[in-house]
Copies of this chain bind each other. A is one copy, B any other.
Amino acid sequence: MATKKELRIGLIGTGFMGRTHSNGYNRVPNFFPELEYTPVLKAVCSRNAEKVQAFADQWGYESIETDWKALIARNDIDAVDICTPNDTHAEIAIAAAAAGKMILCEKPLSRNLAEGEQMVEAVDKAGVANTVWYNYRRLPAVSLAKQIVASGKLGRIFHYRANFLQDWTINADVPQGGTGTWRMDLEAAGSGVTGDLLAHCIDTAMWINGGITDVSAVTETFVKERMHALTGKVQPVGIDDACIFHCHFENGSLGLFESTRYARGHKALYTLEINGEHASIRWDLHDLNRLEYFDHSDESIVRGWRSIHVTDGDQPYMDKWWVPGLGIGYEHGFVHQVADFLKSLETGEPCSPTFKDALETQKVCEAVINSAKSRSWQDTGVEWTEK
């Protein structure tokens, strides 16, 4: 067996994202055996020693830490994976960069633009490899959508629309803040659905369709007060429960985005649709192995939306998995991101989206929040350079 180069991982945070990332590291050796690098799960960090040890046992981490600064200080760690709530991203990332660690940071990059700019500055100065876990890009159907648009099949793009609809916070008894519900707390999360859900939609959109130049948004907080899980007090809710915005892209197309946690019946309905001069594409996370495609050049009497089951070996990433017709799941996007990050170490190319790319998404989020507050159009200042 050829000896692999090791990428020694230190994971900070053991929540939902800690699990998805850990699974990614564990699966890559089985499904991407050709890579030069292999992840080694060196350490995992969380404040509660007992819980973090159980997590380490479950996922195969060699050791634990209860202080993230201690983890960053270790010499046997090459890369720090940040899976903690948003309000800690900047501090940890800046410290990790200063310590010369590569960084894999959970999205959104930061709570706000100012934090994000500091983070980009930190990794640029340190010259460390970095990436942000916008995992949906690497679902095969979404990657195929990117490939199709890049190939020119759609021609001039007229419309890009996406939404991300959930329904888990309709119950007014859901608290804000605390371990499982920090996403409801403005201080911890930075924003509500905008940073949590729309950030995904924006990242995918700019990756496929280029920069967003200006936005006009509305937000709403349907339940005005919730108990805070840490204080036990009923407090005003600061986050946006729902956010809608329309926008222009640099290429002249119109964009339309919506997210809410109050769409009864939708668990995680991330959908996107792109309408071009010659063809259109749409996708739905609830049926993530399918891509729908309409090609106007088909013979007219048999023209229709094609339901593509993206499970063939010539479709993105699918040569790694099973046989045609046998679908994969949500978690595989993370496996693919680990594989692509390892591959980037071989090639020396950045693993997109980098902090810089993710900062552009922050610019849009910031403009969206500002637009909603000011009831006015806002320029984003986005300079999208990723291809």
Contact = CB atoms under 8 A, between A and B. Distances in A.
Contact of A218 (B246, B267, B323): B246
Contact of A276 (B216, B264, B277, B288): B264
Nearest to A58: B33
B30 A218 contact: no
Closest 4 CB pairs of A and B: A267-B325, A268-B325, A265-B294, A304-B308
Q: How many copies of the chain does the oligomer comprise?
A: 4
Contact of A166 (B1, B298, B301, B325): B325
Contacts of A260: 158-159, 254, 275
A315 interface: yes
Interface of A: 1, 16, 20, 22-23, 26-27, 29-30, 33, 53-54, 57-60, 144, 147-148, 153-154, 158-159, 161, 165-168, 170, 216, 218, 220, 222, 242, 244-246, 248, 252, 254, 256, 258, 260, 262-269, 275-280, 285-296, 298, 300-309, 311-312, 314-315, 321-332, 375-377
A20 to B, nearest CB: 7
Contacts of A244: 246, 254, 256
Contact of A298 (B23, B258, B268, B306): B306
Given A58-B29, A264-B296, A275-B265, A161 B329 contact: no
Contacts of A285: 325-326
Contacts of A245: 246
A264 B278 contact: yes
Contacts of A276: 264
A294 to B, nearest CB: 3
Contacts of A323: 16, 267-268
A287 to B, nearest CB: 6
Contacts of A254: 218, 220, 242, 244, 260
A327 B288 contact: yes
Given A244-B254, A303-B308, A306-B306, A324 B275 contact: no
A30 B165 CA distance: 29
A155 to B, nearest CB: 9
Contact of A327 (B30, B220, B326, B329): B329
Nearest to A273: B263
Contacts of A265: 275, 279-280, 294, 296, 305
Contacts of A287: 287, 290, 327
B22 A30 contact: yes
Given A29-B60, A290-B304, 5 more contacts: A22-B30, A158-B260, A267-B324, A301-B315, A302-B306
